[in-house]
Amino acid sequence: MSHRKNESLPKNRVLRRTLYRLLLAAPVLPLMACPGSSEDCVSGPDTLTAEGIQRNPDGSLSCANCPEHPHGARLTTCGESTSDGGVKVVCTYFTCNNDGRRPEGLQEPLLGEADSLLGALHAHVAWLEAASVPAFLRLADELSAHGAPEVLVKAARRSAADEVRHTRAMQSLARRHGARMPEVDIHPFQPRSLEAMLTENAIEGCVRETFGALVTAWQARTAGDAEVRRALGPISRDELRHAELAWAIDAWASECLTPSKRDRVLQARREALRTLEHEVRSQIPPEQLVREAGLPSREQALSLLHGMAVLVA
């Protein structure tokens, strides 16, 4: 009997109480985009790569040849990135994409045409879910290699299977609105240290995936589209377990690191929270996505994020 109990990852009571308390506000807060002077954000990739490098007369990097965003998002900044021995310009756009676990080496997609904002949103979420499958499989292999408890390894593999189902569900919603999921392109994974794995887990799991679980559960409660509510109900429960896995990994591995390494992982988590808050604060989701897809408005998203911050910090 005790062996059966140990097969499943224990529930994180603190995490669940915090998330449930925050979600209780969902039926009470107004379900419309917060008015203000900021522009609406749009769905789609938040970074694209420019062809060639241009510089200003003073030698600083020029963003002049950054490509036009497929859904009209405003270019916010650009920077140089060294990859595969070469230098490229990565252009950042003002979009609604600020949650979820992205694997290392994930290449931003070139999105096809979509008949609506809803189609573009669901297609991009499907792409993120699909990208999470190899990320969780890699995590399972790394956990096993580092001698993690088998319950964590099994939970990571189960999470990969969850993401396959999520991808199919979101693809179905995307097709319903005339959109198709873009191809997932990830650079081959390379061996990395335990600290590097835990830093990614802190950023993508403890911060972004926890926030993503909150947003998905919010959508499952508030989406005006009944199909979205039906699809996201079971997905939100899975995403909560994925967030619990991230925190369980963080708790296990913190005892395997030196104090200086633990501090670096903690600082990475806090910095990720600050970055996410900046992204959420600068975005106002289109009213259609708030109303029909259930995305939280900017003020609602900030409330969720601030309520979650006690766990992260």
Q: Please report the pLDDT score of residue 64 as a whole number.
A: 86
pLDDT of residue 71 exceeding 70: no
Name the more confident of 63 and 250: 250
pLDDT of residue 97 exceeding 80: no
Q: Please report the pLDDT score of residue 143 as a whole number.
A: 96
As a whole number of angstroms, the distance between CA 248 and CA 22 comes to: 21
Other Cβ atoms within 10 Å of 175 Cβ, number: 15
pLDDT band at 105 (very low <50, low <70, confident <90, very high): confident
Q: Please report the pLDDT score of residue 98 as a whole number.
A: 52
For 200-236, write each residue's pLDDT tens digit. 999 999 999 999 999 999 999 999 999 999 999 999 9
Instruction: Give percent above pLDDT 90 in the chain.
Output: 54
pLDDT, average across residues 22-46: 56
As a whole number of angstroms, the distance between CA 214 and CA 237 comes to: 10
pLDDT, average across residues 289-296: 94
pLDDT band at 33 (very low <50, low <70, confident <90, very high): very low
DSSP state of 33: P
Q: Please report the pLDDT score of residue 120 as a whole number.
A: 87
Kindly tell me the burial class for residue 66, based on how many C-beta atoms sit within 10 Å of its own C-beta (0-12, 13-18, 19 or more): buried
pLDDT of residue 28 exceeding 60: no
Most confident of 60-69, 95-104, 204-213: 204-213
Specify the amino acid at residue 2. Answer: S
pLDDT of residue 80 exceeding 80: no
Q: List CB contacts of 240: < 8 A, sequence separation 6 or more.
A: 15, 16, 19, 213, 217
Closest CA to 306 of 279, 273, 284: 273
Instruction: Give percent above pLDDT 70 in the chain.
Output: 81
pLDDT of residue 116 exceeding 90: no
Q: Please report the pLDDT score of residue 276 as a whole number.
A: 92
For 237-264, write each residue's pLDDT tens digit. 999 999 999 999 999 988 889 999 999 9
For 144-179, write each residue's pLDDT tens digit. 999 999 999 999 999 999 999 999 999 999 999 989
Contact 224, 292 (CB under 8 A): yes
Query: If you average pLDDT over every residue of the chain, what do you get?
Result: 84
Q: Please report the pLDDT score of residue 1 as a whole number.
A: 36
Q: How many angstroms from the chain centroid is the CA of residue 167?
A: 14
C-alpha radius of gyration, the chain, whole number: 19
Q: Please report the pLDDT score of residue 92 as a whole number.
A: 67
Listed range (29-33, 114-118, 205-209, 226-230) with the worst mean pLDDT: 29-33
pTM of model > 0.85: no
Q: How far apart are the first and last CA of the chain?
A: 37
